[in-house]
Structure 1
Amino acid sequence: MKNMMSAFSSNLFIHLIICLLFMASCQPKTEEQATAEKNGEANKSTLEPLTSETVVEVLTTFEKENPDSLILISTRHGDIKLRLYKETPLHRANFVRLTKAGFYDQGEFYRVVKGFAVQGGDSDNRTMKQGPYKIPQEFNPKYIHKRGALAMARYGDERNPDKESSSHNFYIVQGEPRTLQELRAYEAKHNMQYTPAQIELYTTIGGEPALDQEYTVFGEVIEGMDVVDKISDEPVDGQKWPITIVPHKIKTLNN
């Protein structure tokens, strides 16, 4: 039993390291945007740039006027259909706002960790700017990092003690089935308790419980997980960037 527990602890530690390495790349490029502004680069977007001071007010107003909750992400591998959660109103409004402005049509799936997650929303070729803001976290115990979960990336260090989300970088979870023993360890780590239904999800379809209560989950894939799996099969370089670009186009389906 002692050897079994040692092996489990070792595997859990290794998985946590993988999670941290992946999420270290989940940082919005606010420093680059600030540098561009200092250098006098023109804002080529018709999208009103947001700031930390205006983000909540603008998104709250936008959320009331834009009830969209169905999203379609088109890629060269096919389409991914997602449903956004109304219980995470700021994140839903932000995603819909950027989508309707065409911001995400200049993005790509730029980081891929097979079996873990695919990350999109950014691109070195983007001309549209959204402003140097973060979104207040909207953790909800109902929504976990199951396979197919849609969540926002964020800074993960001392610069972000409130775990605020990136303005635009998102990821879709792949993940693998977890054991009950692993889930109990994550419950203790995150001071939470999974419901029987959530345990069933994690032990059957899988996911990434290490990310729960760390990143805001605000939607889920309802069609097209096979497309996510195809993206995850893309050959990548040493930084987990796909060798061949995987651009995406995103639109709302409600109206």
Structure 2
Amino acid sequence: MTQAFSSKGIIPLIACILFFSSCQTQTEDQATAGKDDAAAQAPLEPLTSENAVEVLTAFEKENPDSLILISTRHGDIKLRLYKDTPLHRANFVRLTKAGFYDQGEFYRVVKGFAVQGGDSDNRTIKQGPYKIPQEFKPKHIHKRGALAMARYGDEQNPDKESSSHNFYIVLGEPRTMEELRAFEAQHGVKYTPEQIKLYTSIGGEPALDQQYTVFGEVIEGMDVVDKIAEEPVDSQKWPRTIVQHKIKVVEQ
């Protein structure tokens, strides 16, 4: 795929969908269990579309964790998960505690746009073929450093349900007021003065607002995200050298 999602100007939504829907390829339903390294991890009951919400709702009540540490060969990234996106937070914490993300990597990188992780061709832990209902919140925008869940495109996924495991961290560049007004009209939103200040100063990707669920943000280590974004990539935006991640829950 060519880089149709330039960080300058209005990003066509279709390009964004093409990028993030690619997260769902190959390994989501093809992972196999039973390898020795998987046996050492906490049990992970595979979920289905029928039981995912019930299981995640129950898990969220018993696991209020909201701080996450992603470790890579470039350094550590610390994130805070939002309390008002409980299904996404519970899902991320659940997979993290089971060691699922320790078998993943940042497998797709678009400099100036986003880095995407979660999947790996070497995964052995199976999580099931479920999706997460969207939890769009107008106050959670795709500012630089936002953590969000990838998903299939609208044709396959009209309800905009999130991937079970693939996530991305936003990069982006500062936006102009003209761009923000255009995105407001396109998405039927109204940015607050604080959100406008964020987008015009640190930047982000407003084309993705109300299209993908933002459920957290980087609170330390954006320099590490920038280093990942500098990785040389192939024509499909896959890093030529694996950027594996280890993810764990940290104390509040």
- TM-score if structure 1 supplies the norm length? 0.89
Candidates 53, 60, 69, aligned match of 1:56: 53
The 5 A counterparts of 1:166-177 are: 166-177=163-174
Candidates 208, 213, 216, aligned match of 1:211: 208
CA shift, 1:22, in A, is 2.0
Q: Distance in 1 between matches of 2:230 and 2:213?
A: 25
The number of residue pairs the alignment matches comes to: 239
Distance 1:199 1:11, change over 3 A: closer
Q: Distance in 2 between matches of 1:28 and 1:222?
A: 30
Distance 1:28 1:141, change over 3 A: farther
CA shift, 1:56, in A, is 0.5
Q: What is the root-mean-square deviation of aligned Cα atoms in Å? A: 1.8
SS in 2 for 1:122: coil
Candidates 127, 142, 155, aligned match of 1:145: 142
Q: Does 1:247 align with 2:244?
A: yes
CA shift, 1:17, in A, is 5.4
What residue in structure 2 maps to residue 27 of structure 1? Answer: 24
Identity %: 81
4+ long deviations beyond 4 Å: 14-18, 41-45
* Structure index of larger Rg: 1
SS in 1 for 2:185: helix
SS in 2 for 1:142: coil
What residue in structure 2 maps to residue 72 of structure 1? Answer: 69
What residue in structure 2 maps to residue 184 of structure 1? Answer: 181
What residue in structure 1 maps to residue 196 of structure 2? Answer: 199
Distance 1:136 1:43, change over 3 A: farther
CA shift, 1:18, in A, is 4.3
Give the structure with the higher percent helix.
1
What residue in structure 2 maps to residue 228 of structure 1? Answer: 225
Q: Distance in 2 between matches of 1:233 and 1:81?
A: 19
Question: Is this contact kept in 2: 1:28–1:166, CA < 8 A?
Answer: no
Q: Distance in 2 between matches of 1:79 and 1:243?
A: 20
Question: Is this contact kept in 2: 1:136–1:164, CA < 8 A?
Answer: yes
CA shift, 1:217, in A, is 0.1
Q: Which moved more, 1:18-27 or 1:58-67?
A: 18-27
Question: Is this contact kept in 2: 1:112–1:242, CA < 8 A?
Answer: yes
Structure 2 gap segments, 5+ residues each: 1-7
Residue type at the aligned position of 1:159: Q
Residue type at the aligned position of 1:224: G
Question: Is this contact kept in 2: 1:108–1:122, CA < 8 A?
Answer: yes
Question: Is this contact kept in 1: 2:33–2:125, CA < 8 A?
Answer: no
What residue in structure 2 maps to residue 82 of structure 1? Answer: 79
CA shift, 1:19, in A, is 2.5
The one-character-per-residue Cα deviations of 1:224-252 (angstroms, maximum 9, x if unpaired) are 00000000000000000000000000000
Structure 1 gap segments, 5+ residues each: 1-9
Q: Does 1:162 align with 2:159?
A: yes
- TM-score if structure 2 supplies the norm length? 0.90
CA shift, 1:159, in A, is 1.7
Residue type at the aligned position of 2:76: D
